[in-house]
Structure 1
Amino acid sequence: MAEAPADLDPVSMFSLLGDETRLAVLQALYDETRGRGTGRGAVAYSTLREAVGEPDSGRFNYHLTQLTGHFVEKLRGGYALRAPGREVVRVLRAGTLTQSPRVDPVGTGRVCPRCGGQVRLSYANEHVFVHCADCVGLLEFDYVPDGTLLAVSFPPAGANARDPSTLLAPATLGYERRLQTMTDGLCPDCGGVATPSVRRCECHRQTGSTTCDRCHTGFEALVELSCETCERRRVAPPAFAFTHRDPVREALSAANADGDAWRRYVTVVDWPTRVRRADGGTPEVVYAPPDDREVVVAADGSVRREAPSPPDELGAHLSE
């Protein structure tokens, strides 16, 4: 087995990529080996140079040598991409660092879970924004459109590849899957350890037509999923982060809402919700779906179903 290359500091890493010939080498290797399983097949020097289209052999050899070690591996039969090289190509093709498409609001054919109004979708800053045309929505921040119900990251290439009116389903599904991976303890971005916590607005106040003037959302509590390595953070209505767990899945099925991810989202958002103090003082979020068994999401990420609380316990909120 070849000796692993030394780690690169970030400045050196970006320096190595700062030439169009080097990026062309990575993309050519990716294309030439894409059909060979894991991409471990070697590409002959002459084949690679022809694919890149560099007529100057000295220049080509210099740039290939600079990449070899961290991004490219020299094998007996030629050259192959290492994992960092493949990741660079994927990032480039996803458009995350290079593309900035915008989509003006389009109709989705869905209705708002708050007011029954028409739901629209727009795209900007690598995010899909789902918003209502008739109410304030669930999120009121400077960086989201008025009436926003959901804002999720989505790669530019994915947005460019689809009719804007069809973006709702893949964007919501991608958001749901990333949440599920993190609730299971794995960061989908770096492979680090992800941990859950319940974040509660201590002075939550809202009416049916406004969001809270303190947290600027329509949620008294949100689950926060944080990676200990890359510090990726995602927040969501607690039950929506656990739609793959049996207690939530059972309640969604009983509500005939186990179809697409958007339907699951609006269903859990519409369930009556309260926050109470569990044994030990940690917060837990209690949902009351229509099948008369509550769904409880605890601060440690555990989820369970239980019989409805007696009336005298319904006021046992954290604010007391």
Structure 2
Amino acid sequence: MHGVDATEVFERVSHPTRVEILDALASAQRDAPADPWLAYTELREAVGIRDNGNLNYHLDQLGDLVVKEDAGYRLSRVGMGLVGTASSGVLDTDWTWGPVDVPGECRQCGDPLQLRYEDGVLWLTCDTDGHEHGLWVPPSLLEAHPEDTLVERIAFLENRWGELTRRGICSECQGNVDGELTRLEDGGHHFLGHCDRCGSQHGLPVGLFLVGHPDVQRFYYEHDVDVRSTPYWTLDFCRPGAETVVSTDPLRVRVDVTHDGDTLSLTLDRAGDVVATDRS
């Protein structure tokens, strides 16, 4: 982990009293976002500490996770980020959700698909072992958003992952992602990127890598479709192996995006850059 001592950060929040302080300040932020400050006595009462020295010690240990001014105490931007990560539910590997039926069919067997959250992952599955695919969607989205909007919002997050990766941005830490088109064992290709800041690997189908490309978005917009919120697993051009190898030296891979008899073809080089487009 670059730019921060991870051990120091974890030690700051290792004591339950400090967690209670952060939680109290987070509650104040939720209840009154325009005035999130808690006076010292309010914070002491919220945490249930009578000894000023004890409270002062833990406030000092939290350091720049908390801001102190004349108005009192509030979470800093860093503190909010830490609380936000915990609130997202990604640290609770015991949390489960689903299964919920979703559009599309399994690319391996053709059976209907479901979404199910367990073991810290949202699984897209037909309920056959070995056919599942993990989506990086936090429990907070599944809990906080209306049920009738979940699929399109899950799709938006996944499609955004492809867009960020194509632009060289890590979806986990916003570090720099370097990668290239890589050949799979079955002969197809996917884009494999690596973030040297947090170590995340970004391997995704070539089609998903292109969902956010301006030409692809424009193509679907002309057909009255918002591809940004369309589940990528329902799009034929996002199917692993749907791409065509035009040449191997240099590597050129073509992706054909088709809708209502209209086709947009995009050709990529090894680095994943679109080097040619064609409309037919």
> Normalised by the size of structure 1, how large is the TM-score?
0.71
Contact 2:114-2:124 at 8 Å conserved across structures? yes
* Partner deviation per Cα, 1:82-129 (whole Å, 9 max, x = no partner): 232112211111122234222454422533456653122222222222
Would you tell me which structure has more helix in proportion to its own residues?
2
1:23-172 alignment to 2 at 5 Å?
A: 23-34=19-30, 35-36=32-33, 42-68=37-63, 70-103=64-97, 105-112=99-106, 116-132=110-126, 145-148=129-132, 150-161=133-144, 167-172=150-155
How far the C-alpha of 1:272 sits from its partner, in A, is 4.3
Change (3 A) 1:196 1:293: same
Change (3 A) 1:258 1:297: farther
| Structure 2: gaps (5+ residues) | none
- 1:194 equivalent to 2:181? Answer no
| Aligned mates of 2:145, 2:134 — CA distance in 1 | 18
Which residue of the partner structure matches residue 273 of structure 1?
Answer: 243
Which residue of the partner structure matches residue 277 of structure 2?
Answer: 305
How far the C-alpha of 1:152 sits from its partner, in A, is 0.9
Choose 154-163 or 187-196, whichever is displaced more.
Answer: 154-163
| Aligned mates of 2:271, 2:165 — CA distance in 1 | 13
User: Sequence identity of aligned pairs in percent?
Assistant: 23
Contact 2:206-2:238 at 8 Å conserved across structures? no
| Aligned mates of 2:222, 2:147 — CA distance in 1 | 32
Would you tell me which structure has more strand in proportion to its own residues?
2
Contact 1:183-1:195 at 8 Å conserved across structures? no
| Aligned mates of 1:151, 1:255 — CA distance in 2 | 30
Change (3 A) 1:301 1:62: same
AA partner of residue 84 (structure 2): R
Contact 1:257-1:264 at 8 Å conserved across structures? no
AA partner of residue 57 (structure 2): Y
How far the C-alpha of 1:132 sits from its partner, in A, is 3.1
Choose 70-79 or 155-164, whichever is displaced more.
Answer: 155-164
| Aligned mates of 1:147, 1:8 — CA distance in 2 | 38
* Length, aligned pairs only: 271
Contact 1:33-1:43 at 8 Å conserved across structures? no
Cα RMSD, aligned residues only: 3.2
Change (3 A) 1:36 1:166: closer
AA partner of residue 43 (structure 1): L
| Aligned mates of 1:294, 1:115 — CA distance in 2 | 27
How far the C-alpha of 1:224 sits from its partner, in A, is 1.9
| Aligned mates of 1:165, 1:123 — CA distance in 2 | 17
AA partner of residue 266 (structure 1): L
* Partner deviation per Cα, 1:281-318 (whole Å, 9 max, x = no partner): 4533212334344222333232241378xxxxxxxxxx
* Partner deviation per Cα, 1:113-171 (whole Å, 9 max, x = no partner): 566531222222222221236xx8xxxxxxxx4333x4211213333446889754333
| Aligned mates of 1:59, 1:194 — CA distance in 2 | 44
| Structure 1: gaps (5+ residues) | 1-6, 137-144, 206-219, 309-320
| Aligned mates of 2:99, 2:159 — CA distance in 1 | 22
Which residue of the partner structure matches residue 253 of structure 2?
Answer: 285
